[in-house]
């Protein structure tokens, strides 16, 4: 593992689980997969304590294990992705808050703290089942992020009440919505196995079942072997996927599993209760999940959502807020149809890369899009009349014709539209915005097939490369100035050039350009290739060609991002030590929650300063994590382990 990444993961685990687990993780990161006796020897920790630390790491899925046979020793290795994702908990909770509400975000935050949890244990912790699990590790009353006290030290009382589940129906309904969206997934024993061992196990099972002679050589048998491996992979993947039909509990009312949650994520209320599910007014019961179902957060699916949010922000810079909302709805629909950017069990298809991209029709986008947005406000000639956005609402009011009308709650109204004409108008407006996004130079989306096709797709690889290129350009400009950025862009477009051609193209003197080139080479942004003119290899008889390697610079910025996050997290305990006295006083049981009455004015000021410092440092970690997600995760190509 890369040194900067190992250091960052160790710090995150120390903040989350303590020094013992961090030391065990650091030893595994340094020496690779080890059994318990060897791990105890390298770490200098007694075997009994090693087992305790490994249990904590396994529960949080920060370590993977595998044993070839039942009696064989287990080998443990680090799960560096989940270890790094400890820094991403806050961004994931914010994402869930935006889409599903605060209560769903609070539930996901608790599951992130635990690593994985049974549905029954979560229900008991929220006091929604008989008994109460006080020591479960679930915070049922206050909102928290990755570390205790990360969000300004403590949550307010009203925020706690807003994030508290009020009924079992709401709890199971929210879980089902999160499971359908892919934010939460089922956990099986395969989730604790390294991918390489899982691949070997699949291949061995295929050989034993279908190739008893263990001969898989030759083109024909190789093709049959690969096909059988892919079939078994797909079968295992389907078995590990959540299903309303197979994963529902045996108790509780059954009202068409999922009928209350087939609506858009955008139509979930801010308090986390989906439409049609009111705990205070006799809500209809939904099918309860099995208490034995184990769930965890799927970080790879969250990466897709974070990528969609980043692309929506990018589109907003060029197209405005309304078109960006339409684009965000399109991206959200495509998320549910996309495989993970890192699908280790996905089949290997030989299809065209563009044909693999998922498609979405306009009606699906309309289901997700917020119906209150005025889609015609930013398109000339299509602005809504009478102040009614998109034609949504009543065509005539009681004051218009004196006739009192009553809306029937039993009549189904798709997306709030009262007529086919309004729906057709809304579809036309959505298509108009998608056409504008397609015609833009960045090509945010494209029609799927024919010219008049109703289906749209997004070329995620091309847009991700564009975002990475823009991020690298911003980094060079911020660190070295606009002239250095101009040189880097020119070398990226034209390839290798000597300093005279570089100076000519940027219209500067050679000696001025030479200073900038040397500075960029010193910091690893540019490289020079030596071409000697003769065998003497004298500097005066050597031609130096300067070039820019985007992949190398991307890896360099990524490693520097890891280092910046490590230093920022190390700064927090240093700053905390300066305010240690007032923090310890504020955390006393007789004072906590009553700071305004029991603390003096100077103590309140000091506590406020500490919380502001902590919040700024943690916000900086979150911003750097967005850069890491872009450079490493959005494309699905891992460069973070490069030393």
Calculate the alpha carbon distances from 553 to 231, 442, 521, 528, 627 in Å.
39, 23, 11, 14, 13
We find that the CATH architecture of domain 463-548 is: Orthogonal Bundle (1.10)
Q: Residue 403 above 60 pLDDT?
A: no
pLDDT at site 376: 83
User: 373, 360, 358, 458: which is closest to 415 by C-alpha?
Assistant: 373
Binning pLDDT at 50, 70 and 90, where does residue 383 land? low
Binning pLDDT at 50, 70 and 90, where does residue 532 land? confident
Q: Residue 416 above 80 pLDDT?
A: no
pLDDT at site 399: 39
102 close to 269: Cβ distance less than 8 angstroms: no
- pLDDT tens string 95-112: 999 989 899 999 999 999
Calculate the alpha carbon distances from 302 to 109, 116, 228 in Å.
13, 16, 30
pLDDT at site 424: 86
Exposed e or buried b for every residue in 141-176, given b needs 16+ CB within 10 A?
ebbbbbbebbbebbbeeeebebbbbbbbbbbbbbbb
- pLDDT tens string 583-615: 888 888 888 877 777 888 898 899 999 999 999
Three-state DSSP class for 80? helix
Binning pLDDT at 50, 70 and 90, where does residue 434 land? very high
369 close to 430: Cβ distance less than 8 angstroms: yes
Residues in the chain: 643
In eight-state DSSP terms, residue 128 is -
We find that the CATH architecture of domain 300-343+357-378+423-458 is: Orthogonal Bundle (1.10)
Residue with tokens 């991020």: 471
Pairing of strands 446-447, 294-297: unpaired
Residue 622: CB atoms within 10 A of its CB come to 16
Query: Residues 162-177: what's their mean pLDDT?
Result: 80
In a 13 Å sphere around the CA of 73, the CA atoms on its Cβ side amount to 9
pLDDT at site 638: 62
Q: Where are the chain's structural domains?
A: 3-86, 300-343+357-378+423-458, 463-548, 554-633
- CA 165 to chain centroid: 24
Q: Residue 86 above 80 pLDDT?
A: yes
- pLDDT tens string 466-478: 999 999 999 999 9
Query: Residues 357-366: what's their mean pLDDT?
Result: 89
Q: Residue 392 above 80 pLDDT?
A: no
Query: What CATH number does the domain located at 3-86 have?
Result: 1.10.10.10
In eight-state DSSP terms, residue 447 is E
Query: Residues 557-563: what's their mean pLDDT?
Result: 94
Element (H, E) at 295: strand 294-297
Query: Residues 171-189: what's their mean pLDDT?
Result: 88
Q: In CATH terms, are 300-343+357-378+423-458 and 463-548 the same topology?
A: yes
In whole angstroms, what is the distance from residue 107 CA to residue 113 CA? 10
Three-state DSSP class for 478? helix
In whole angstroms, what is the distance from residue 595 CA to residue 269 CA? 33
In whole angstroms, what is the distance from residue 338 CA to residue 333 CA? 9
As given in the structure block, the two tokens for residue 448 are 């799927």
- pLDDT tens string 2-56: 889 999 999 999 999 999 999 999 999 999 899 999 999 999 999 999 999 999 9
Maximum separation of any 2 CA atoms in the chain, in Å: 101
């Amino acid at each position: 593992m890369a040194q900067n990444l190992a250091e960052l993961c160790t710090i995150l685990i120390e903040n989350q689980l303590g020094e013992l687990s961090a030391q065990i993780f650091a030893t595994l990161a340094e020496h690779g997969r080890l059994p318990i006796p060897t791990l105890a020897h390298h770490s200098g920790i007694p075997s009994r304590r090693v087992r305790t630390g490994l249990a904590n790491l396994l529960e949080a899925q920060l370590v993977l294990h595998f044993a070839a046979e039942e009696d064989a020793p287990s080998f443990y290795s680090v799960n560096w992705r989940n270890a790094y994702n400890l820094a991403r908990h806050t961004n994931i909770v914010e994402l869930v808050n935006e889409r599903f509400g605060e209560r769903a975000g609070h539930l996901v935050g608790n599951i992130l703290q635990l690593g994985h949890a049974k549905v029954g244990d979560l229900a008991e912790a929220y006091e929604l089942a008989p008994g109460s699990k006080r020591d479960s590790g679930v915070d049922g009353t206050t909102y928290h992020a990755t570390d205790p006290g990360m969000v300004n030290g403590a949550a307010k009382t009203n925020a706690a009440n807003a994030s508290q589940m009020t009924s079992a129906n709401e709890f199971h309904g929210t879980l089902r919505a999160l499971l359908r969206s892919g934010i939460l997934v089922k956990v099986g024993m395969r989730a604790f196995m390294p991918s390489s061992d899982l691949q070997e196990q699949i291949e061995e099972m295929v050989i034993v079942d279908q190739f008893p002679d263990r001969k898989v050589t030759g083109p024909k048998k190789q093709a049959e072997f690969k096909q059988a491996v892919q079939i078994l992979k797909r079968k295992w993947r389907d078995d590990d996927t959540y299903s309303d039909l197979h994963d529902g509990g045996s108790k509780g009312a059954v009202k068409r599993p999922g009928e209350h949650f087939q609506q858009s994520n955008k139509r979930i209320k801010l308090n986390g209760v989906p439409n049609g599910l009111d705990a205070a007014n006799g809500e209809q019961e939904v099918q309860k999940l099995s208490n034995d179902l184990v769930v965890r957060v799927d970080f790879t699916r969250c990466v897709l959502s974070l990528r969609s949010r980043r692309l929506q922000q990018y589109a907003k810079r060029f197209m405005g807020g309304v078109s960006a909302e339409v684009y965000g709805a399109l991206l959200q629909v495509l998320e549910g149809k996309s495989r993970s950017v890192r699908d280790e069990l996905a089949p290997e298809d030989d299809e065209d890369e563009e044909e693999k991209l998922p498609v979405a029709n306009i009606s699906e986008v309309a289901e997700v899009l917020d119906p209150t947005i005025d889609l015609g406000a930013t398109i000339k000639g299509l602005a809504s009349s009478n102040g009614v956005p998109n034609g949504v609402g009543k065509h005539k009011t009681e004051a218009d014709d004196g006739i009192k009308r009553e809306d029937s709650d039993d009549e189904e109204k798709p997306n709030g539209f009262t007529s086919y004409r309004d729906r057709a108008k809304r579809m036309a407006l959505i298509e108009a915005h998608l056409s504008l996004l397609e015609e833009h130079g960045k090509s945010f989306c494209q029609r799927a097939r024919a010219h008049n096709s109703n289906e749209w797709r997004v070329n995620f690889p091309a847009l991700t490369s564009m975002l990475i290129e823009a991020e690298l350009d911003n980094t060079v400009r911020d660190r070295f100035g606009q002239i250095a950025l101009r040189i880097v862009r020119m070398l990226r477009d034209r390839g290798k050039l000597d300093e005279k051609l570089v100076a000519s193209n940027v219209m500067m003197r050679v000696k001025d350009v030479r200073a900038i080139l040397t500075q960029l080479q010193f910091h690893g942004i540019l490289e020079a290739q030596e071409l000697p003119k003769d065998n003497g290899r004298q500097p005066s008889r050597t031609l130096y060609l300067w070039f820019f390697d985007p992949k190398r610079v991307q890896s360099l910025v990524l490693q520097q991002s890891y280092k910046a996050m490590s230093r920022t997290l190390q700064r927090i305990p240093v700053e905390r030590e300066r305010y240690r006295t007032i923090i310890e006083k504020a955390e006393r049981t007789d004072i906590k929650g009553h700071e305004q009455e029991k603390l003096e004015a100077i103590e309140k000021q000091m506590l406020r300063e500490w919380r502001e410092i902590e919040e700024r440092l943690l916000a900086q970690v979150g911003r750097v994590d967005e850069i890491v997600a872009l450079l490493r995760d959005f494309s699905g190509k891992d460069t973070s382990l490069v030393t």
